[in-house]
Chains A and B, each alone.
Chain A
């Protein structure tokens, strides 16, 4: 009798070969349009806001992936975001190794950590999982606040960037116009990667596990490792966001590990909708612009964010992306009828 394995066979045809022409077209348009946007937007404030929104969008995409593929809600993704920043700041402060290695570690270490944590915590359903992720995130935050000698405590750490990284002048990471393009390409790349992932056998198996874990087990599938892998992939995406944030700001503080950042990312994901991969990123753009407008109107802007969240969850249970898709689906048959 064969022994169990975690093997999930690869699809017969290469993943890239199965990407439709529409997706390639959308990818091309997205990259070109995003690259041209900074020259169209003259306001530095607006482009700064957009850059923050895109970084927030990558983090929200990470949170949305966990919801979409496992049905679990993470309240601690700021841990992976903030850890990435500290993995860049600390070696830079002590001159331990080149920034290139720090960037690799900043993305790899939170991913590894999430996988190991995931092997334990993805077994725990519902609110308990959310509370565990919250506790883990806050544990890192507390450490960053209290270990002043290592982390600089509440004051945080300034990151001394070298002149170049991977042959690129580090200046480009700190100018909003160029950093927006880098972050945008990263976001589009993440979404494209996830597009391939969710359509792969692995992605479809994780969807099945989300739908009915027991049945998946009775079909012969291990259910813990695939969910831990999804958690790790989502941490990787969160760490990419954290790395970009650290490079952009040249600074990292315990705030980047705080639960309120995890909460904001969750709000972005819910507002945008998690059924579609791009929903959380859309939610992030809406979130940042709504926050900016609300901040101009009142110092109590978090209350307005709360009202927006209530309004969206009540009126658009599938989020803005879900509502948009529904609207397009309604328009499409009408178009067919007109044509027909």
Chain B
């Protein structure tokens, strides 16, 4: 019997005119794994997240969630199936209070865990504040908190540490590692901060020009010359 992955994409292809953003990409993330997705700008990382989450249209291939073909599912159906995502640009409800937007998110969830998420994400102190009035770091955490409502089984994170300080990024990485382990969430993480990626990911997939260049454990990825040349350079130790 074929192995059932938490999230799996097969033959994923997306073109923008003559430019191929994704070229027959296959990615398969087993249950409970934190998978890093790295690559230079334009490699197709965000496009892959968009295809998996249902945000993209006009693409080819198959997306499976725990073995079920969800290729034709809407974003709403995918969310109800346990697939949640965060966004590269903070995607929240600026005029609503922090707690209010988490409550709204929880009305569709089988496990309405607003207090739990507020606590885990360190948002309790600003729960009553309008999202537009909180700091950038808090807005990033709120974006992630919205995805965590209902304890999703698969979490697609598109640069959650973008714009955060080194200290905040490390704290976020630790939090993600901890949550993924305790909540048994499978995570696919797009991130430019290599400290974050190499510290928390079980395995890493490297994309380059819309294709999978390499895949393996962090130590293996570090040793692949093509990856170092294409993306890592000599900065990651």
Q: Does A211 contact B (CB under 8 A)?
A: yes
Q: Does A4 contact B (CB under 8 A)?
A: yes
Chain A residue nearest in CB terms to B81 = A1
0/1 string, A1-25, CB within 8 A of B gives 1: 1111000110000000000000000
- Interface-centre pick from A8, A201, A215, A218 (highest chain B CB count, 10 A): A218
Give the distance to chain B from A119, nearest Cβ to Cβ, in Å. Answer: 16
Q: Kindly list chain A residues whose C-beta atoms are within 8 Å of the C-beta of B195.
A: none
A215, B76: Cβ atoms under 8 Å? no
Q: Does B53 contact A (CB under 8 A)?
A: yes
Give the distance to chain B from A223, nearest Cβ to Cβ, in Å. Answer: 9
Taken together as a complex, chains A and B put the C-alpha atoms of A201 and B108 apart, in Å, by 11
Interface stretch (choices A135-143, A153-161, A202-210): A202-210
Chain B residue nearest in CB terms to A214 = B91
Decide: A3 near B77, CB < 8 A? Known: A205-B104, A208-B101.
Answer: yes
Interface stretch (choices B33-41, B92-100, B207-215): B92-100
Decide: A204 near B104, CB < 8 A? Known: A215-B146, A218-B85.
Answer: yes
Interface residues of A in 244-282 (CB under 8 A from B): none
Q: Kindly list chain B residues whose C-beta atoms are within 8 Å of the C-beta of A218.
A: 53, 55, 75, 79, 84-85, 91, 147
Q: Kindly list chain B residues whose C-beta atoms are within 8 Å of the C-beta of A39.
A: none
Decide: A2 near B80, CB < 8 A? Known: A204-B104, A221-B108.
Answer: yes
B91, A212: Cβ atoms under 8 Å? yes
Q: Kindly list chain A residues whose C-beta atoms are within 8 Å of the C-beta of B107.
A: 8-9, 201, 205
Q: Kindly list chain A residues whose C-beta atoms are within 8 Å of the C-beta of B76.
A: 4, 217, 220-222
Q: Does A219 contact B (CB under 8 A)?
A: yes
Chain B residue nearest in CB terms to A218 = B75
Q: Kindly list chain B residues whose C-beta atoms are within 8 Å of the C-beta of A217.
A: 74-76
Q: Does B220 contact A (CB under 8 A)?
A: no
B92, A4: Cβ atoms under 8 Å? no
Q: Does B105 contact A (CB under 8 A)?
A: yes
- Interface-centre pick from A4, A208, A215, A217 (highest chain B CB count, 10 A): A215
Q: Kindly list chain B residues whose C-beta atoms are within 8 Å of the C-beta of A204.
A: 100, 104
Q: Kindly list chain A residues whose C-beta atoms are within 8 Å of the C-beta of B95.
A: 207, 211
Q: Does B133 contact A (CB under 8 A)?
A: no
A211, B93: Cβ atoms under 8 Å? yes
Q: Kindly list chain B residues whose C-beta atoms are within 8 Å of the C-beta of A211.
A: 93-96
B77, A208: Cβ atoms under 8 Å? no
Q: Kindly list chain A residues whose C-beta atoms are within 8 Å of the C-beta of B100.
A: 204
Q: Kindly list chain A residues whose C-beta atoms are within 8 Å of the C-beta of B79.
A: 218-220
Give the distance to chain A from B130, nearest Cβ to Cβ, in Å. Answer: 11
Give the distance to chain B from A136, nearest Cβ to Cβ, in Å. Answer: 28
Decide: A208 near B96, CB < 8 A? Known: A215-B146, A217-B75, A219-B108.
Answer: yes
Q: Does B116 contact A (CB under 8 A)?
A: no
Taken together as a complex, chains A and B put the C-alpha atoms of A4 and B55 apart, in Å, by 16
Question: A219's contact among B70, B73, B105, by CB below 8 Å, is which?
Answer: B105
0/1 string, B83-121, CB within 8 A of A gives 1: 011010001111110001100110111000000000000
Interface residues of B in 54-88 (CB under 8 A from A): 55, 65, 68, 70, 73-77, 79-81, 84-85, 87
Taken together as a complex, chains A and B put the C-alpha atoms of A207 and B103 apart, in Å, by 13
Question: A1-B70, A207-B96 provided; 13 other pairs, C-beta below 8 A?
Answer: A4-B80, A8-B107, A201-B107, A207-B93, A211-B93, A212-B91, A212-B92, A215-B91, A215-B93, A215-B146, A218-B53, A218-B55, A219-B79
Q: List residues of chain B with CB under 8 Å of any chain A CB.
A: 53, 55, 65, 68, 70, 73-77, 79-81, 84-85, 87, 91-96, 100-101, 104-105, 107-109, 146-147, 149
Question: Can you identify 20 A-B contacts, CB atoms within 8 angstroms?
Answer: A1-B70, A1-B77, A4-B74, A9-B107, A204-B100, A205-B104, A208-B96, A208-B104, A211-B93, A211-B95, A211-B96, A212-B92, A212-B93, A214-B91, A215-B92, A217-B74, A217-B76, A218-B91, A219-B105, A221-B76
Q: List residues of chain A with CB under 8 Å of any chain B CB.
A: 1-4, 8-9, 201, 204-205, 207-208, 211-212, 214-215, 217-222
The 6 closest A-B pairs by CB, nearest first: A220-B108, A211-B93, A220-B79, A1-B81, A219-B105, A4-B76
